[in-house]
Structure 1
Amino acid sequence: MSFILSAVLALALQTPPPQAQAASAWTWTLYEGEGPMVLANELPDTPALKATLQCAPGSGVVDLALYDGGGRRLQVQPGFARLTSGEVTTTSEVRAGRGGRVETTVRTDHPLFAAFVRSGDMALMTGDQTLAVKVDRPHLAKLRRFADRCAG
């Protein structure tokens, strides 16, 4: 009996809880091909998104959309938001998009976008909420490729 109990406990310790599995499944994926380029922070093989960056190659303009990956709709009042990456701050128009997403546009030649490409961190502050975009170190090469292809 104690052998079976030990085996069950060992198996339970090896399998992370469902929340840990879901949290680690979020990844950044770069979609290239015909049409716009998209860098998406997603749960693969699901409709769940946290953020997308989209551009027409060579356009010099990136559309950023932030989603709540938990399924709840983000609330934003149309107007202006403060975007920050490292020491660089700017303002940009923010709008509420379909499906509860928050949208804004950033030029690829703006110092804020350059700081974001270097660090992988950006915060969008609107009203009383702060929304974060975080590209972890293993995915920074995808962000750099995206930025290079989008640059005008």
Structure 2
Amino acid sequence: MTGLFGVALALFFQLATPSTPLWTWTLYADDPLVLANEIPDTARLRSTFECEPGTSIVRLSLYQAPPARGFARVTAGSASTMAEVEPVRSDGLRLVLRTDHPVFAAFAADGRLGVMIGDEQRTIEVQRAHLAKLRRFTELCAG
């Protein structure tokens, strides 16, 4: 019986240990202030929000994104806006948002932001456990 319990416990830990890297949200309170969706201690990024504290201007960078120029439709809750898209690095896009816009307020409230560029849709989600970081980022960026 003890042997069976040991095998079951080992199997549980093997299944509970993720085989893929864990993405998380990290707030870097430097200048510029950065909220990054990343795999810690690697160079792997999905998205970053950057601002100079007190300016209310946020630069959103999306990585592993197809090259694009033009405008993106950005939505959160029932709010929406358009933002100009520019390429960054070899694999990313950047657009600018304001923390005092209803879209960013809705994003800070529930942690979901939709970005549509042409036919491509990407949803950025800050999980409930990380919403305090998003709200602190918003507070520090606000002018």
Give the TM-score taking structure 2 as reference length: 0.89
Give the aligned CA root-mean-square deviation in angstroms. 2.0
Say whether the 8 Å CA contact 2:32–2:51 is kept in structure 1. Answer: yes
The 5 Å alignment of 1:60-99 reads 60-68=56-64, 74-99=65-90
More strand by share: 2
For the residues of structure 2 that align with 1:61 and 1:89, how far apart are their CA atoms? 17
Structure 1 residue 10 displacement after superposition = 4.5
Structure 1 residue 8 displacement after superposition = 4.9
Structure 1 residue 95 displacement after superposition = 1.5
Q: Which residue of 2 aligns with 1:71?
A: none
SS at match of 2:95: strand
Structure 1 residue 58 displacement after superposition = 0.4
Q: Which residue of 2 aligns with 1:32?
A: 29
Residue 115 in structure 1 maps to residue 113 in structure 2: no
More helix by share: 1
SS at match of 1:138: helix
Q: Percent identity?
A: 44
For the residues of structure 1 that align with 2:129 and 2:12, how far apart are their CA atoms? 27
What amino acid maps onto 2:47 in structure 1?
A: A
SS at match of 2:43: coil
For the residues of structure 2 that align with 1:21 and 1:116, how far apart are their CA atoms? 30
The 5 Å alignment of 1:6-17 reads 7-8=6-7, 10-16=9-15
Say whether the 8 Å CA contact 1:76–1:126 is kept in structure 2. Answer: no
Q: Count residues in correspondence.
A: 143
SS at match of 2:68: coil
For the residues of structure 2 that align with 1:21 and 1:88, how far apart are their CA atoms? 37
Q: Which residue of 2 aligns with 1:101?
A: 92
Structure 1 residue 5 displacement after superposition = 8.2
Structure 1: unaligned runs, 5 residues or longer: 69-73
Q: Which is further off, 80-89 or 9-18?
A: 9-18
Residue 128 in structure 1 maps to residue 125 in structure 2: no
Give the TM-score taking structure 1 as reference length: 0.84
What amino acid maps onto 1:54 in structure 2?
A: E
Structure 2: unaligned runs, 5 residues or longer: none
Say whether the 8 Å CA contact 2:68–2:93 is kept in structure 1. Answer: no
Structure 1 residue 97 displacement after superposition = 1.1
Residue 48 in structure 1 maps to residue 44 in structure 2: yes
